Structure formats: structure tokens, C-alpha cells
Structure 1
Amino acid sequence: MAIGNLDLTQLDRTLMTNEQKSLLNVSNVSQKEIEQLLIMRGQVQEFQMMMMKYDCALSEVRTKLEILNKELSLKNNRNPFENIKSRIKTPVSIYEKLNRKGIPFSIENIESNISDIAGCRAICSFVDDIYMVADCLKKQDDVHVLVEKDYIATPKDSGYRSLHIIIETPIFLTENKEFMKVEVQFRTIAMDFWASLEHKMKYKKDIENAELISEDLKFSADLINQLDRRMQQIRERIDAGDGKPYGMTPTEEEERADCETMEIIRREIQAEQNAARKRGKKKAE
């Protein structure tokens, strides 16, 4: 069996350590086993250099976002970001992602097939802050946008909402300049709250009424979207009104939000009724 450039079937197993033999179980690999694989290939330093470059690129992007946050907080008298998180994928996580794609583990395949080794998540106060800050980042002349996925305008079936962009940004080394990929996610506080809990719950096994729970999560995501829009409307009224009383006539956007909220409630009632009928059938059986 080949893993990347290394054909394990050609190795003399009598000369292999237990750690090396365990590499034959390619579906479940530990950090130590990946290190051993890199040692066997003589690619430890090359792998470390690659990960260092991604870490540097992540620092560059984080700095760009922090500068934008400082400038916009002075211009607008409020911070567009509530928090900025960043992370580098672990070697095990990188291996597992390649394995899910059916791609052998190698440095070349990592660089060609994975775009989110370096990841940054910007948690914004309001939805319009997301698009405003993302546009500011994309307009910088040393940032190349490779992919953009707007899950706010078009949510996933699960209800997940976020704006994802994959960019290339340069890092300056001693002898050259290299462009490295970084994935940047933009979410509101409410979107991040929902996504964090949904991520934890979906990995639990043997869940009863999984279909109903998925419907509940989707319903919750829709409610959170309504909350985001309501909070933005309130902020816009405060910014525009100088403390004056709100008008009694709802805006077109508010009327649309009310209709969507009623539709969400109608779907939730229907889902509960369907679940009750299913429970009744099970008892009857």
C-alpha cells in the first residue's frame, strides 16, 4: 500500500519498528506515526518549513484584520470585530482531510489540495460589518482572492451561515517572497454561537430523533438570522435618529422580517405536529 511517495509494501517489515508497522493502518493515524512517516522519508525539515510558512501567512492576515479594526473603530466610534481567532491545522487533521478525499499524504498533495491549513475567523458585531470588512481586505493590493463562498446569502441546508474567503497573501523570507493560502471566515456573534454548538452536537453518536434535532437546529439558525437582522435595524435607527423616538410605521425590511419570522414559527409548529404523530405511531405499534 502506498502512502504518498512511500510504498509500504516494499519495506521489510522485519526491520520496521512497531510505530512504523502501525502506519499500515492508514485510516487511523496519530501525531507520532505521522512524525515517524516523515522521518522515514527524510522530510521532517521540509514539513516544518511548510508549516512555518502557513503560520507566518496567518500572522500576516491577522495583522491586516487588526489594523482594519483599529482604523474603523476610530472612524465609526465602534469596533467592527468582537474577536479574531486563528489556528493552524494539526498534522493529524491534515492527514485525515486528505484521507477523506482519497488523496495520499505527501507535502505536494497538502499544498495542492488543502486550502485551510491556515485559518482565521473574524467575529463581527453586525452582518453589514462582515461585508464591509471583507471588502476592505479583498481590496488590498497584496491579497489575491481565490475562492469566495457566501453562506449568509445562501445558507447551507443545515442552517449554517458564514462568509468564507480563501486568499493568497505574501510572506517575505530571507531569499524570496512566497504567496501562501489562508482561509478567512466572517461570522456574527450569533452565527458563531450556533456553529460552535452545532459542531459539537453533530459528532455525538446514536442520537435519537436525529431528523427532528436537525429540524430544530435549522429552526434555531433561522431565528438567529432574524435576531441578527433585528439588531442591525436597531443599530441603524440609533445611528440615524440621534435619540429621536422611532417612527410607528414599519419599514419594508421590517415587514419582510416579520413575514419570515411567522413562516419560521409555522414550520416549527408543523415539525412538532409531525413528531407527535410519529411518536403516536410508535406507541401504537
Structure 2
Amino acid sequence: MILERQNVVNLKKLQSQLGGLEKRPEIDELSKMIKIFQLYQAGQKEISTKLENLDSEFQVNYDYNPIHHMESRMKDMQSLLQKAERKGYALTAESIQKNIYDIAGIRVITNYLDDIYKVEKLLTNQTDVTLLERKDYIKQPKESGYRSLHIIVKVPVFQSKGPIDVPVEIQIRTVGMDMWASLEHKLRYKTNVDSKLVDKYGDQLKGYADELEQIERGMQEIHKDLI
């Protein structure tokens, strides 16, 4: 018995969601894209399971969990096709699979700064996980003050015809970084926010990002002494 099923995209539902596109993919391409979506969903599940297992093992070995919690997301098909159109990619399953790596995503929220790199090392040391791309916005924060570690890995997903490598985007950040990023996203990407407020609070948030890093490093040192 399958106790919980993931949401599955079907062709009829997908066709009703494609308003706003300049061009619509052919029906056979949409069918292929649905299969890709299912494949990437399986890849996301593979990585989530690995992270859960590694976190549990860490708890057994060291009486401590580096992962506070995780959030998974799948880019919905309309957003995916709009991104492909915006980037100038062909609206075909092959083009999307070749050019877009953030279809499946996982956000890993850690307790402390060191845990970010600990989780990355534990995951990428797995023999069936391959690191494709790495962007460290902690050591080199964005201009806005945004901090997070972004990696893209590929993992084999076993299908009826054999294993297929699937890329999954993973963002790893602390609880504090996640709180900051959530507020910054609300400020900068909500279309109804007054531009004067964006400028005003944008500078303020950047200052808070620097303060937050100092606080988190101090808390990490206390944590190290305690354990």
C-alpha cells in the first residue's frame, strides 16, 4: 500500500494552466515533459531520503542533528515553460532537460554555520551523488546581503529501462539566513511593495545580514564549547 502519493501532473490539467505563454508546446512534447517532471520528482525524493538518513546517522554517532528541517519544492510546469521561453530555449522536453537544472529543489535549514558545509560534505561524499555546480554566497554574499550555499547535484533514479541521472538544486542555509532571505524576498519580489520602501529597507536588511553573521558565529562558538 502507498500511504502517501506525490502530486502528479496530467496532460489535461497542464493544458489548462498554460495561459500567458507566447507559444504552446506540442501535445507530444507536453507528454514528454510530464514524464520528465515525474523523473525529477523522484530525484528530489532520492536526495531528501539521503539527507534524512545522513542526519539520523549523525544523531546516532554524535548525539546532534546538523539539519534543523528541510523544504522540498518542484517548479510548477507553467513557471518552467515561462522560464524556458524567457531564456530563449526551445519548448521541448529535450531542451528543458538540457538547460534547466532547478526543476527539483530542496532547501536544507541547518542550526549553525559549520553545519552548512558539514551537510554538503556528507552528501557529496556519497558515491552515487555527483556535484555539478557550486555557488557559495556565504563566503561571497550577494550585493543585497543574501547568504546561502547553492549546489546542484545529480543522482541516479532507477526507472523500468534503467537508471537515469537527475539534477537537483539544493540550497543550504542556517535558520537565521532563512529568516532573513524570506523577508528580503517579500520585500523585493512582491510587486505591490512601494519602491521607496524597497530602497529604505533594502539597505537596512543588508546591515542586518552583517550583524546576523556575527551573531551566528558567536552562537556557534558557544555551541562548540558546550559539546
TM-score by length of 2: 0.86
Q: Find out whether 1:178 has 2:164 as its counterpart.
A: yes
Query: AA paired with 1:150?
Result: D
Q: 1:189 to 1:119 in 2, by over 3 A?
A: same
CA RMSD of aligned residues (A): 1.9
Aligned to 1:200: 186
Match of 1:214 among 185, 188, 202: 202
Following the alignment from structure 1 to structure 2, what is the Cα–Cα distance between the partners of residues 171 and 232?
Answer: 37
1:93 deviation in Å? Answer: 1.3
The 5-angstrom pairing of residues 228-243 of structure 1 reads 228-239=216-227
Aligned to 1:62: 48
Query: AA paired with 2:123?
Result: L
Kindly indicate whether the alpha-carbon contact (under 8 Å) linking 1:124 and 1:189 is maintained by their aligned counterparts in 2.
yes
Q: Find out whether 1:146 has 2:132 as its counterpart.
A: yes
1:209 deviation in Å? Answer: 5.0
Question: Sequence identity of aligned pairs in percent?
Answer: 40
Q: Deviations over 1:165-218 (max 9, x none)?
A: 101100011111100000111100000001111111102343215333221110
Aligned to 1:26: none
Q: Find out whether 1:134 has 2:128 as its counterpart.
A: no
1:101 deviation in Å? Answer: 2.0
**Matched position secondary structure for 1:165:** strand
Q: Deviations over 1:47-87 (max 9, x none)?
A: 11110100000000000000001000111212111101111
Q: Deviations over 1:132-166 (max 9, x none)?
A: 11101111110111101111111111111111110
Q: Find out whether 1:80 has 2:56 as its counterpart.
A: no
Match of 1:160 among 142, 146, 163: 146
Kindly indicate whether the alpha-carbon contact (under 8 Å) linking 2:89 and 2:96 is maintained by their aligned counterparts in 1.
no
Kindly indicate whether the alpha-carbon contact (under 8 Å) linking 2:156 and 2:164 is maintained by their aligned counterparts in 1.
yes
Aligned to 2:215: 227
Query: AA paired with 2:72?
Result: S
Following the alignment from structure 1 to structure 2, what is the Cα–Cα distance between the partners of residues 195 and 97?
Answer: 22
Question: Between Structure 1 and Structure 2, how many residues are aligned?
Answer: 209
Q: 1:220 to 1:96 in 2, by over 3 A?
A: farther
Match of 1:169 among 155, 171, 177: 155
Following the alignment from structure 1 to structure 2, what is the Cα–Cα distance between the partners of residues 211 and 199?
Answer: 14
1:96 deviation in Å? Answer: 2.5
Kindly indicate whether the alpha-carbon contact (under 8 Å) linking 2:90 and 2:96 is maintained by their aligned counterparts in 1.
no
Kindly indicate whether the alpha-carbon contact (under 8 Å) linking 1:145 and 1:167 is maintained by their aligned counterparts in 2.
yes
Rg (Cα) greater in structure? 1
1:109 deviation in Å? Answer: 2.0
The structure in which a higher percent of residues are helix is 1
TM-score by length of 1: 0.69
Kindly indicate whether the alpha-carbon contact (under 8 Å) linking 1:30 and 1:92 is maintained by their aligned counterparts in 2.
no
Match of 1:37 among 9, 20, 24: 24
Query: AA paired with 1:68?
Result: L
Following the alignment from structure 2 to structure 1, what is the Cα–Cα distance between the partners of residues 75 and 103?
Answer: 5
Q: 1:198 to 1:67 in 2, by over 3 A?
A: same
Q: Find out whether 1:48 has 2:38 as its counterpart.
A: no
1:89 deviation in Å? Answer: 0.4
Aligned to 2:104: 118
Aligned to 2:92: 106
Query: AA paired with 1:234?
Result: I
Kindly indicate whether the alpha-carbon contact (under 8 Å) linking 1:166 and 1:181 is maintained by their aligned counterparts in 2.
yes
Query: AA paired with 2:38?
Result: M
Following the alignment from structure 1 to structure 2, what is the Cα–Cα distance between the partners of residues 157 and 32?
Answer: 34
Query: AA paired with 1:222?
Result: D
Higher relative contact order (CA 8 A, sep 6+): 2
Following the alignment from structure 1 to structure 2, what is the Cα–Cα distance between the partners of residues 117 and 127?
Answer: 27
Q: Find out whether 1:187 has 2:173 as its counterpart.
A: yes
Aligned to 1:11: none
